[in-house]
Amino acid sequence: MELAHSLLLNEEAYNQLGEFQKAEFIFEWLQFLEKLLPVTSRADIRENQKKLVEQLTSLLNNSPGPPTRRLLAKNLAVLYSTGDTFSVYQTIDKCNELIRSKDDSPSYLPTKLAAVVCLGYLYKKLGRILGNSFTDTVGNVLKAMKNAESQGRYEIMLSLQNILNGLGAAAIPCHRDIYKAARSCLTDRSMAVRCAAAKCLLELQNEAVFMWSTDLDSVVTLCFKSFEGSNYDVRLAVSKLLGTILARALTSKQITASTKHNFRRISLEDVMELLGTGFLRGSCGFLRASGDMLKGTSSVSRDVRVGVTQAYVVFVSTLGTQWLERNFSAFLSHILDLVSQSHPKAVQSPVDAIGCRRCVSFILRATVGGLLGEKAQIAAAKEICQAIWKLKKVVDAAMSDGNLETKINTTDVTASQHVLVCALQELGSLIYGLGTTAAPLLQDSSTGVLEAVISVILHPSISVRLTAAWCLRCVAVALPSYVSLLLDRCVERLSALKSCPEALTGYSFAVAALLGAVKHCPLGIPHGKGKVIMTVAEELLCSASQNSHLSLQRMQAGWLLIAALMTLGPAVVQHHLPRILLLWKCIFPSSPKDLETEKTRGDAFTWQVTLEGRAGALCAIKSFVSHCAGLLTDEVVQRLLPPLPSAVDLLTQLSSIYKSYGNSLKTPSTVYRQKLYELLAVLPPKAYEGNFSAVLKELVTDLTVTDSQIDASAFLLPSLCHENDLLLLGPLLRETDHRFIEEQLLLGNSIAGGSLEYDPYSIYEKFAKGASVPKPLPPALSVISAASRLFGVMFSHITESHRLQVLEQLLNSIKQTKGSRQQIVQLHVVSAFSTSLKHLANCKGSLGSEEVRRSALMLVMGALESNNPLLRCAAAECLARLAQVVSDSAFTAGLAQVSFDKLRSARDVVSRTGHSLALGCLYRYLGGISSIQHLNACVGILYTLSQDSTSPDVQAWALHSLSLIVDLAGPLYHVHVEPTLSLVLMLLLSVPPAYAEVHQSLGRCLNTLITTLGPELQGSSTSVSALRTSCLLGCAVMQDNPDCLVQAQAISCLQQLHMFAPRHVNLSNLVSCLCMNLCSSYLLLRRAVVACLRQLVQREAAEVSEYAVALVKESKEDFTPDVNIREIGLEGALLGLLDKELDPRLCQDIKETLTHMLTSMAVEKLSFWLKLCKDVLAASADFNTVASIDTTQEEETAKGDDISALTSDSDDRFHPFRNPRWSTRVFAAECVCKIISQCENAGSAHFDITLAQERKQRDSR
């Protein structure tokens, strides 16, 4: 490859190479040329320009792949911009000629595409220098698009984007034509084309005034249509376009006022109405939407609503923090109105309501939580509180101690429920994020935050009561001093209002939520509080039967309080254990005869109360087992067991009870099942082994029920798949900034995701992530999940004959169903069986005889060829677990042979993807691959599949499987490294960028190959040097890929290379790449950037910091508009990112990176670090207070420095950190402490003014 490092192409060396080596050689030369041209003198370039142009243009006819044609185009553009432009028109004419060619053969397509790309980069770089030639070029390109296939349309859109970028306002004559072409591409069947069209239109709107004036309505409607059937990348690109255009339309008033043209003026209300139309009516016209609403059908698809939600966030982010602060009241009013009764059809069903609430909560969290500083957040919290007061006036004004027991007129109040849920959720999140700085907000009597939240605890809607309770929990976690006060207040109100159903449930929710907050508070609460709550709970349960009007609420409240009390731990619970066990014993009938008597006496209502009460008791005991394991002595376990047979007996009778008393018992009986399954799963199986048969029979029935229409794969299977395999299934299953709203698109139309009202008992559970509201799924789904987990536990404890019987029963159930129902049953069964294999593997158990193995294999193999890709992933993992449990080399070889045979004969995508993944997973839990014969067979067949260009899915799955094989084979794979690297490079250079999933799999392959080579990459032999060059070449190709996840993998690969062979990785280029992507809109790319920086600064902190500043100063292009590395350095940029970032994992990585940099450089760059910390700490300090401090000191010479340490610049506009968050300021203070500690170790001059002055004088000489 060294022969490629020259200004002119070494044609002699090039001609001696094979076909693939030629492609690799050309790419290496073009890459070298890209670095060489900017630093070569103009005289040298002019001397060689004619020959160089000939060599570059001749490459157009060599069918260059996507990365090669981009590099070729860039080099041509740089060559003409640096050298003479005499022959540029000939090059443009040649490109146009190639595009006009009538040759439509597949072999000629890369040449046409290369010509299109070249034109784009030439006009981008040279712009107006090329005169009016652009009109012919644009006309020619647009004409070619009419007959172009998806790759052509994709490249044409990106090329037009570049042409617009280079020409600016000069391209106005072509704007309408480009706009017309891009419109059609924005609703293209290819998602990659839609993304490219969105980028083209985003560039177009910079100069095309009509897009955000006269044609604004049309553009907005077009964006809504583009969201239909879109994927994550399209929603991201189109929402950016839509949000930016609307922001431009709003802020263009000043521009239009100064011009003579009569443009349409757009107000904030107009913009909000346009976005609101998309959110509420979707992409169809007004009349059709109205017609659908009259019929009672919703016309808004979820992907449109999610896309519009993202556009709201882009719109506000584009306008900025100050705009949001000034317009927050109007913005909040509009956003909350989206879920109000002004638009009843948007929330006509619980599913629609939950989906809309999620979207509204996301908008508020991303804007209020992500953009506003601490002071603005406090102001926003006050505004939200005012909204709550307004909504609650109907109820609150009527409530006093005298009339609380009267029933509120629910027709006036329920209209506000969804608005209140969203407002309370955001208020809770804000207070949680503000932490102790929220104290003044809560102490402000004019706002009355706590009063507002507590007032809605009595709202008729259970959703509002639960959210208010969760909001109080956030207050308690943020300000632990409030826990006891709030508990006292809520317990007192609960005791006083025992005759009000809303108060019973509302205040019990609040007490339970506050008890759940105690584990997050370092000092806890006095043990006496537990005694008070236990007494109240006991009274509620004992009085439940006295008043039928309140029996249900008292039963629910009593058991909820006991379940929440368990979270306080053994120290509190042990004092109340005898009473709890007595209540547990009394809630169930003491014998089967009593249960039969119950069945004959009850009615629908008494059974509802009974089932709710017993479900609550089961939940309380589960909470006891989970949180008080230290109290589970043999004696206590023996006292827990007697009611269990009765609980199981009731389980077996539920279907007959449900049939007798009708639909009203459907939900209570489902919840009872769920809670019993959850309890049994945490108890020792021996405790209920006498009931194994009865429970298993019910589990099998639940797992194979055919009336379920809900595809539960999105919540059941991800936890059963290996996290690496989930990468195959697209961004919806990965962590993104939009996961909160995107995950609802994974589920069917009958469910929008989880919500707190589905399971009030989740109110006291530990926070899953940050301050996220608990999102339990509906009982119909939760019971399947609970059944699956319990089946996993029980299957490993039943006899072999019983296992065979159960497996055959499950197989028969799958065979007896058809179509979509069969897939649902299959998914339930596979999830349950996969869980059982995990349990067997953990306890090192055996599966059983040959017959059991055969049945198990039939079950897994059926799923391996399912149409559901998630089910195929789960089946492949299940196969790996099966091999682990059986642990027999002959059996494992047999499994591999089944897949080999299938892959040789099958031609359908489903079989090929499923079985190729099975090969990669098979040895995952067997300590790796040890058979050379098996390895060779796997590599051979996966090589073939990975080159199947007719199916990108097959390629992606085969390459992913190959990456697993590389990892599992370890040193055994060394003989295959070179051909595999060649394969990876060949595909990277030839696979179209639209097939992002293939490139992502290629990235994983390259990463595992680098890991396999490891420290060997440091070697100096010819073979190692060639391998290292190939790895670096692969990284370079991936860095230039348009897909952000591929770019993240490129960074990860370079990070690996830097670890194993640091001398051979160009640190300057790597730091440049990291700086460019520091503020990417993709979470996984930001994570990759910071993870790489964290590694780099551990060894080369000073170099990384210097490179970042130098690169930004040298570059004419602004790397990252969100951060100013030029002024505040990489360290300041990271602090700025920390202040905006909401992802906890990424925040932790940023802190660690800054800590490493501080440890390495703080003493040498003391002034810089102190100023950086001061800027953060002083950004929102109260300087009126500081000014009153007497700073008179004996050392007059130091007075100026002391004052400057306490005050900030008078002009806040130029402050690098405007209103940083409390958490950022705390970290800055911690940094100051570390700096002081570093200085203390460095020498006494830092703390002795005399020594410091002497050093200053010495240094100045």
The pLDDT, as a whole number, for residue 1105 is: 92
The secondary structure of 718-768 as a DSSP string is: GGGS-TTGGGGG-GGGS--TTHHHHGGGGS-TT-----GGG-GGGGGSPPS
CB 467 within 8 A of CB 1255: no
C-beta neighbour count of 292 within 10 angstroms: 17
What pLDDT band is residue 351 in, cutting at 50, 70 and 90? confident
Q: What is the pLDDT of residue 1122?
A: 53
Query: Given this model, what pLDDT does residue 299 score?
Result: 55
pLDDT band at 709 (very low <50, low <70, confident <90, very high): low
Residue 1189 is predicted with a pLDDT of 33
Q: Which positions ≥6 away from 225 have C-beta within 8 Å? A: 186, 187, 283
723 compared with 1147, residue with greater pLDDT: 1147
Give the residue among 76, 47, 62, 50 at the shortest CA–CA distance from 14.
62
The answer to whether residues 551 and 544 touch, using CB atoms and an 8 Å cutoff, is yes
Q: What is the pLDDT at residue 1120?
A: 47
For residues 939-961, average pLDDT = 95
Q: What is the dihedral of CA 706, 708, 713, 717, to 10 degrees?
A: -70
Encoded tokens for 233: 């990348």
- State yes or no: pLDDT of 1116 exceeds 80: no
| Residue 827 DSSP symbol | H
pLDDT on residue 750: 67
Helix 551-565 vs helix 604-627: crossing angle, to nearest 10: 10
Question: What gap in Å lies between CA 126 and CA 167, rounded to an integer?
Answer: 8
Mean of per-residue pLDDT scores for the chain = 87
Pick the closest to residue 872 from 713, 751, 711 (CA basis).
713
Q: Which residue has the tokens 């009274």?
A: 539
For the ranges 730-739, 937-946, 1214-1223, which has the lowest average pLDDT? 1214-1223
Segment among 225-234, 252-261, 452-461, 1130-1139 with least mean pLDDT? 252-261
Structure confidence at residue 264 (pLDDT): 64
User: Measured between alpha carbons, how far is 1082 from 317 in angstroms, rounded to an integer?
Assistant: 15
Which one of 639, 656, 683 terminates a domain?
683
pLDDT of 814 > 60? The answer is: yes
Is 808 among the domain residues?
no
What's the average model confidence in pLDDT over 550-557? 93
Task: Give the position of tokens 């076909």.
Answer: 19
φ/ψ of residue 742, rounded to 5: -70, -30
User: What whole-number distance in Å separates Cα of residue 878 and Cα of residue 861?
Assistant: 10
Residue range 59-106, pLDDT digits in tens: 999 889 999 999 999 999 999 999 888 889 999 999 999 999 988 888
CB 67 within 8 A of CB 1040: yes
- Which tokens in the block code for residue 394? 């109907």
For the residues 852-863, what does the mean pLDDT come to?
Answer: 93
| Low-confidence winner among 400-414, 517-531, 871-885, 1034-1048 (lowest mean pLDDT) | 400-414
- Of the pLDDT bands very low, low, confident and very high (cuts 50, 70, 90), residue 918 is very high
Give the span between the Cα atoms of 51 and 237, in whole angstroms.
41
How many helices (H) and strands (E) the chain has is answered by 61, 0
**For residue 18, what is the enclosing H or E element?**
none
Indicate whether 565 pLDDT > 60: yes
Q: Residue with structure tokens 């949180």?
A: 627
- Does 1111 fall in a domain? no
Q: Which residues of 1057-1095 are buried (b: 16+ CB within 10 A; e: fewer)?
A: bbbbbeeebebeebbbbbbbbbbbebbbbbbbbbbbbbb
Work out the angle at residue 303's Cα, subtended by the Cα atoms of residues 299 and 309, and round it to the nearest 5 degrees.
Answer: 100
pLDDT attached to residue 1196: 41
Please check whether residue 470 is in contact with residue 417, taking contact to mean a CB–CB distance below 8 angstroms: no
Q: Which of 350-359, 372-381, 683-692, 1111-1120 has the lowest mean pLDDT?
A: 1111-1120
Q: State yes or no: pLDDT of 295 exceeds 60.
A: no
Helix (H, G, I), strand (E, B) or coil at 950: coil
Q: Average pLDDT of 962-973?
A: 94
pLDDT at res. 1240: 84
Kindly indicate the confidence band of residue 495, based on its pLDDT and cuts at 50, 70 and 90. Answer: very high
Structural domain of residue 1213, as residue ranges? 1169-1181+1197-1260
CA 44/CA 36 separation, integer angstroms: 11
Tokens for 594, please give them.
């009593």
Q: Which of 656, 683, 710 is the last residue of a domain?
A: 683
* DSSP code string of 19-69: HHHHHHHHHHHHHHHHHHGGGS-HHHHHHHHHHHHHHHHHGGGG---HHHH
Beta carbons within 10 angstroms of residue 1195's beta carbon: 11
Q: Is residue 621 part of a domain?
A: yes
pLDDT band at 493 (very low <50, low <70, confident <90, very high): very high
**Two tokens at 1232?**
């100051």
Residue 421 pLDDT grade (very low, low, confident, very high; cuts 50, 70, 90): very high
Compute the average pLDDT of residues 694-707: 88
Q: Exposed e or buried b for every residue in 1006-1016, given b needs 16+ CB within 10 A? A: bbbbbebbeeb
pLDDT of residue 396: 58
**CB-based contacts of 92: which residues, under 8 Å, 6+ apart?**
119, 122, 130, 133, 137
The 3-state secondary structure of 571-603 reads HHHCCCHHHHHHHHHHHCCCCHHHHHHHHHHCC
In a domain, 1207, yes or no: yes
Q: What is the dihedral of CA 437, 442, 446, 448, to 10 degrees?
A: 150
Choose the weakest-confidence range: 156-170, 770-784, 834-848, 1206-1220. 1206-1220
Q: Of 394-398, 603-607, 616-620, which gets the smallest average pLDDT?
A: 394-398
How far is it, in rounded angstroms, from Cα 833 to Cα 110?
A: 49
Farthest-apart Cα atoms in the chain, separation: 104
CA distances from 1061 to 574, 890, 955, 1024 (A): 59, 41, 30, 11
Residue length of the chain: 1261
Is residue 387 included in any domain, yes or no? Answer: no
The confidence band for 1180, taking pLDDT boundaries of 50, 70 and 90, is: low
49-77 burial, b if ≥16 CB within 10 A, otherwise e? Answer: beebbebbbebbeebbbbbbbbbbbbbbb
Tell me the percentage of the chain whose pLDDT exceeds 90: 61
Domain count, the chain: 2
* End position of a domain, from candidates 683, 707, 726: 683
- Highest average pLDDT, of 359-368, 702-711, 865-874, comes from 359-368
Q: For residue 736, is pLDDT > 90?
A: no
Q: What is the DSSP string of 882-933?
A: HHHHH--HHHHHHHHHHHHHHHHH--SHHHHHHHHHHHHHTTTTTTS---HH
Among 174, 305, 171, CA closest to 230:
305
Confidence band, pLDDT 50/70/90 cuts, at residue 195: very high
Q: What is the DSSP letter of 342?
A: T
Band of pLDDT at residue 1195, cut at 50, 70 and 90: very low
**CA pair distance 367, 383, nearest whole angstrom:** 14
Dist. CA 1116–CA 1097, nearest whole Å: 26
User: Per the structure block, which two tokens stand in for 39?
Assistant: 């630093």
Separation of alpha carbons 1017 and 208, rounded Å: 52
414 in a structural domain: no
Measured CA to CA, the distance from residue 205 to residue 252 in angstroms comes to 12
Task: Tell me, yes or no, whether 39 lies in a domain.
Answer: no
Q: How far apart are CA 579 and CA 452, in angstroms?
A: 36
Give dist(CA 1017, CA 1061) in Å, integer: 6
Q: Could you read off the pLDDT of 364-385 as tens digits, one per residue? A: 999 998 888 888 999 999 999 9
d(CA 478, CA 428): 10
Quote the percentage of the chain above a pLDDT of 70. 90
Using CA atoms, how far residue 284 sits from 112, 180, 238, 280, 348, in Å, is: 37, 20, 17, 11, 19
Please check whether residue 657 lies inside any domain of the structure: yes
Residue 1091: pLDDT over 60:
yes
Q: What average pLDDT does the segment 210-221 reach? A: 92
Of 89, 116, 88, 87, the closest CA to residue 100 belongs to 116
Where does residue 1091 fall: left (phi above 0), alpha (psi -120 to 50 degrees), or beta otherwise? alpha
Question: How far apart are the C-alpha atoms of 314 and 503, rounded to whole Å?
Answer: 41
pLDDT higher than threshold 80 for residue 943:
yes
**pLDDT over 70 at 1205, yes or no:** no
pLDDT at 1200 exceeding the cut of 60: no
Please report the pLDDT score of residue 721 as a whole number. 85
Contacts of 1228 (CB under 8 A, 6+ apart): 1135, 1172, 1173, 1176, 1177, 1220
Residue 623 has pLDDT above 50, yes or no: yes
Sequence-separated contacts (24+) of 260-264 with Cβ below 8 Å: 261/209, 263/209, 263/213, 263/214, 264/213, 264/214, 264/216
